[in-house]
Protein backbone atom coordinates (compact mmCIF):
# COMPACT_ATOMS: atom_id res chain seq x y z
CA UNK A 1 0.00 0.00 0.00
CA UNK A 2 1.17 3.49 -0.83
CA UNK A 3 0.77 6.60 1.34
CA UNK A 4 1.32 10.06 -0.16
CA UNK A 5 1.35 13.09 2.12
CA UNK A 6 1.02 16.64 0.82
CA UNK A 7 2.52 19.08 3.32
CA UNK A 8 4.56 22.27 3.60
CA UNK A 9 6.72 20.71 6.31
CA UNK A 10 7.89 17.31 4.97
CA UNK A 11 10.81 17.03 7.42
CA UNK A 12 8.35 16.65 10.29
CA UNK A 13 7.82 13.05 9.19
CA UNK A 14 11.46 11.96 8.87
CA UNK A 15 11.99 10.44 12.31
CA UNK A 16 8.56 8.95 13.00
CA UNK A 17 8.02 7.24 9.67
CA UNK A 18 11.45 5.63 9.52
CA UNK A 19 11.54 4.00 12.94
CA UNK A 20 10.16 0.79 14.45
CA UNK A 21 7.29 -1.05 12.72
CA UNK A 22 6.73 1.55 10.00
CA UNK A 23 10.42 1.64 9.17
CA UNK A 24 10.60 -2.16 8.89
CA UNK A 25 7.42 -2.30 6.82
CA UNK A 26 8.94 0.09 4.31
CA UNK A 27 12.24 -1.81 4.17
CA UNK A 28 10.27 -5.00 3.54
CA UNK A 29 8.30 -3.21 0.80
CA UNK A 30 4.97 -3.90 2.48
CA UNK A 31 4.13 -0.20 2.42
CA UNK A 32 5.51 2.88 0.67
CA UNK A 33 5.38 6.35 2.22
CA UNK A 34 6.16 9.54 0.31
CA UNK A 35 6.01 13.18 1.36
CA UNK A 36 5.42 15.93 -1.17
CA UNK A 37 6.36 19.53 -0.45
CA UNK A 38 3.45 21.70 -1.53
CA UNK A 39 5.82 24.61 -2.15
CA UNK A 40 7.38 22.66 -5.03
CA UNK A 41 4.12 23.04 -6.95
CA UNK A 42 3.23 26.67 -6.32
CA UNK A 43 2.46 29.11 -9.11
CA UNK A 44 4.72 32.07 -8.27
CA UNK A 45 8.38 32.78 -7.52
CA UNK A 46 7.63 33.27 -3.82
CA UNK A 47 6.22 29.74 -3.48
CA UNK A 48 3.00 31.09 -2.01
CA UNK A 49 0.66 28.46 -0.54
CA UNK A 50 -1.88 30.63 1.31
CA UNK A 51 -3.89 33.83 1.03
CA UNK A 52 -6.45 35.88 2.95
CA UNK A 53 -9.99 34.47 3.15
CA UNK A 54 -12.81 35.94 1.09
CA UNK A 55 -15.39 37.55 3.34
CA UNK A 56 -12.78 38.47 5.92
CA UNK A 57 -11.78 36.72 9.10
CA UNK A 58 -8.68 35.86 11.05
CA UNK A 59 -5.80 33.84 9.65
CA UNK A 60 -4.89 32.60 6.20
CA UNK A 61 -6.36 29.89 3.99
CA UNK A 62 -4.34 27.39 1.95
CA UNK A 63 -4.85 27.94 -1.78
CA UNK A 64 -6.52 25.33 -3.96
CA UNK A 65 -4.40 25.46 -7.10
CA UNK A 66 -1.04 24.29 -5.66
CA UNK A 67 -2.81 21.38 -3.96
CA UNK A 68 -4.68 20.35 -7.10
CA UNK A 69 -1.46 20.57 -9.11
CA UNK A 70 0.34 18.32 -6.61
CA UNK A 71 -2.44 15.73 -6.58
CA UNK A 72 -2.50 15.63 -10.38
CA UNK A 73 1.20 14.81 -10.37
CA UNK A 74 1.16 12.05 -7.73
CA UNK A 75 -2.21 10.31 -8.21
CA UNK A 76 -1.37 6.99 -9.84
CA UNK A 77 -3.87 4.28 -9.11
CA UNK A 78 -7.56 3.90 -9.79
CA UNK A 79 -7.88 2.35 -6.32
CA UNK A 80 -6.83 5.58 -4.67
CA UNK A 81 -8.49 7.72 -2.03
CA UNK A 82 -7.92 11.39 -1.24
CA UNK A 83 -8.52 12.72 2.25
CA UNK A 84 -8.33 16.23 3.67
CA UNK A 85 -7.77 16.64 7.39
CA UNK A 86 -10.34 18.99 8.87
CA UNK A 87 -11.87 19.57 12.30
CA UNK A 88 -15.31 19.41 10.67
CA UNK A 89 -14.62 16.09 8.97
CA UNK A 90 -15.88 12.59 9.69
CA UNK A 91 -14.17 11.10 12.73
CA UNK A 92 -11.59 8.47 11.86
CA UNK A 93 -12.13 5.02 13.39
CA UNK A 94 -10.90 1.44 13.26
CA UNK A 95 -13.40 0.30 10.66
CA UNK A 96 -12.26 3.03 8.29
CA UNK A 97 -8.65 1.98 8.82
CA UNK A 98 -9.53 -1.65 8.10
CA UNK A 99 -11.56 -0.85 4.99
CA UNK A 100 -8.82 1.35 3.57
CA UNK A 101 -6.13 -1.27 4.22
CA UNK A 102 -8.15 -3.81 2.22
CA UNK A 103 -9.65 -1.71 -0.55
CA UNK A 104 -7.23 1.15 -1.26
CA UNK A 105 -3.86 0.93 -3.01
CA UNK A 106 -2.95 4.61 -2.71
CA UNK A 107 -4.01 6.95 0.09
CA UNK A 108 -3.34 10.64 -0.60
CA UNK A 109 -3.48 12.83 2.50
CA UNK A 110 -3.65 16.62 2.35
CA UNK A 111 -2.28 18.24 5.51
CA UNK A 112 -3.74 21.64 6.24
CA UNK A 113 -2.35 24.57 8.17
CA UNK A 114 -3.48 28.03 9.25
CA UNK A 115 -7.28 28.49 9.10
CA UNK A 116 -7.76 25.56 6.75
CA UNK A 117 -7.91 24.69 3.06
CA UNK A 118 -9.94 26.29 0.27
CA UNK A 119 -13.20 24.32 0.25
CA UNK A 120 -13.01 23.86 -3.50
CA UNK A 121 -10.20 21.31 -3.01
CA UNK A 122 -12.70 18.88 -1.48
CA UNK A 123 -15.19 19.53 -4.26
CA UNK A 124 -12.73 19.31 -7.16
CA UNK A 125 -11.03 16.15 -5.94
CA UNK A 126 -14.11 14.45 -4.49
CA UNK A 127 -12.02 14.14 -1.33
CA UNK A 128 -13.27 13.01 2.06
CA UNK A 129 -12.81 15.29 5.05
CA UNK A 130 -11.43 13.41 8.05
CA UNK A 131 -10.91 14.35 11.70
CA UNK A 132 -8.99 12.27 14.24
CA UNK A 133 -11.01 13.58 17.16
CA UNK A 134 -13.37 16.25 18.51
CA UNK A 135 -10.69 18.90 18.93
CA UNK A 136 -8.68 21.35 16.82
CA UNK A 137 -4.99 20.86 16.03
CA UNK A 138 -2.48 23.35 14.65
CA UNK A 139 -1.76 21.19 11.61
CA UNK A 140 -2.64 18.11 9.57
CA UNK A 141 0.71 16.39 9.93
CA UNK A 142 -0.13 14.62 13.20
CA UNK A 143 -3.43 13.29 11.79
CA UNK A 144 -1.51 12.00 8.76
CA UNK A 145 0.86 10.07 11.03
CA UNK A 146 -2.12 8.75 12.99
CA UNK A 147 -3.83 7.44 9.86
CA UNK A 148 -0.62 5.86 8.53
CA UNK A 149 -0.04 4.12 11.86
CA UNK A 150 -3.60 2.80 12.06
CA UNK A 151 -3.90 1.68 8.43
CA UNK A 152 -0.42 0.29 7.76
CA UNK A 153 -0.49 -2.09 10.72
CA UNK A 154 -3.52 -3.76 9.12
CA UNK A 155 -1.67 -4.40 5.86
CA UNK A 156 -0.87 -8.14 5.67
CA UNK A 157 2.59 -8.93 6.97
CA UNK A 158 3.17 -5.72 8.91
CA UNK A 159 1.93 -7.22 12.21
CA UNK A 160 0.97 -10.81 13.05
CA UNK A 161 -2.77 -11.41 12.62
CA UNK A 162 -3.15 -13.01 16.05
CA UNK A 163 -1.79 -9.84 17.64
CA UNK A 164 -4.40 -7.74 15.87
CA UNK A 165 -7.33 -9.98 16.77
CA UNK A 166 -6.80 -9.47 20.50
CA UNK A 167 -6.66 -5.69 20.35
CA UNK A 168 -9.14 -3.01 21.32
CA UNK A 169 -11.68 -2.15 18.61
CA UNK A 170 -10.95 -5.28 16.51
CA UNK A 171 -14.43 -6.70 17.15
CA UNK A 172 -15.97 -3.39 16.15
CA UNK A 173 -15.24 -4.39 12.56
CA UNK A 174 -17.91 -7.09 12.68
CA UNK A 175 -19.81 -6.86 15.97
CA UNK A 176 -20.46 -4.49 18.84
CA UNK A 177 -17.33 -2.57 19.76
CA UNK A 178 -15.24 -4.17 22.47
CA UNK A 179 -12.09 -2.87 24.16
CA UNK A 180 -8.99 -4.86 25.08
CA UNK A 181 -8.31 -6.76 28.31
CA UNK A 182 -5.59 -5.57 30.77
CA UNK A 183 -1.98 -6.65 30.26
CA UNK A 184 0.71 -7.46 32.85
CA UNK A 185 4.38 -8.45 32.77
CA UNK A 186 7.28 -9.06 35.20
CA UNK A 187 7.73 -8.64 38.08
CA UNK A 188 4.74 -10.39 39.65
CA UNK A 189 4.69 -7.82 42.47
CA UNK A 190 6.22 -4.39 42.89
CA UNK A 191 5.86 -1.63 45.46
CA UNK A 192 5.22 2.00 44.64
CA UNK A 193 4.84 4.70 47.30
CA UNK A 194 4.19 2.14 50.01
CA UNK A 195 1.54 0.19 48.10
CA UNK A 196 2.01 -3.25 46.54
CA UNK A 197 0.79 -3.93 43.00
CA UNK A 198 0.35 -7.60 42.07
CA UNK A 199 -0.51 -9.46 38.89
CA UNK A 200 -3.96 -11.11 39.09
CA UNK A 201 -3.48 -14.65 40.37
CA UNK A 202 -5.43 -16.26 37.54
CA UNK A 203 -2.81 -15.10 35.02
CA UNK A 204 -0.13 -17.04 36.93
CA UNK A 205 -2.16 -20.25 37.10
CA UNK A 206 -1.34 -21.73 33.70
CA UNK A 207 -5.03 -22.55 33.24
CA UNK A 208 -5.57 -21.14 29.77
CA UNK A 209 -9.31 -21.80 29.68
CA UNK A 210 -9.82 -19.81 32.88
CA UNK A 211 -7.43 -17.12 31.69
CA UNK A 212 -9.51 -16.73 28.52
CA UNK A 213 -12.67 -16.40 30.61
CA UNK A 214 -10.99 -13.78 32.84
CA UNK A 215 -9.82 -11.79 29.84
CA UNK A 216 -13.29 -11.80 28.28
CA UNK A 217 -14.81 -10.69 31.56
CA UNK A 218 -12.30 -7.89 32.06
CA UNK A 219 -12.44 -6.27 28.66
CA UNK A 220 -13.09 -2.58 29.10
| Model pLDDT for residues 127-151, shown as the tens digit of each residue | 999 999 999 898 999 999 999 999 9
Give the pLDDT of residue 162: 60
Q: For residue 164, what pLDDT band results from cuts at 50, 70 and 90?
A: low
C-alpha span between 80 and 153 (Å, rounded): 18
pLDDT for residue 113 is more than 90: no
Q: pLDDT at position 160, please?
A: 79
- Does pTM surpass 0.75? yes
Q: Which of 171-175, 198-202, 208-212 bottoms out in mean pLDDT, i.e. has the lowest?
A: 171-175
Asked if 144 and 132 count as a contact pair (C-beta separation under 8 A), the reply is no
Q: Which CATH number fits domain 2-163: 3.40.190.10, 3.40.50.1360, 3.40.50.970, 3.40.1280.10?
A: 3.40.1280.10
Position 175 pLDDT exceeds 50: no
What average pLDDT does range 97-124 have in this prediction?
A: 93
Domain boundaries, the chain: 2-163, 181-220
Identify any residues that bridge with 33 across adjacent strands, giving them in sequence order: 3
Report how far residue 38's alpha carbon sits from residue 210's, in angstroms, rounded to the nearest whole number.
56
Amino acid sequence: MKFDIITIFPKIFDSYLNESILGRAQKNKLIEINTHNLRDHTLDKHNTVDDTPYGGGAGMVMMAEPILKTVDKIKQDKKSKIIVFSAKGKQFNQKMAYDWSKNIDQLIMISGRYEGIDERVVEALDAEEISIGPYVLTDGEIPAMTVISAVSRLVPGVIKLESLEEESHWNSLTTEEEKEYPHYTRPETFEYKGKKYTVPEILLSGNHAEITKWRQKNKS
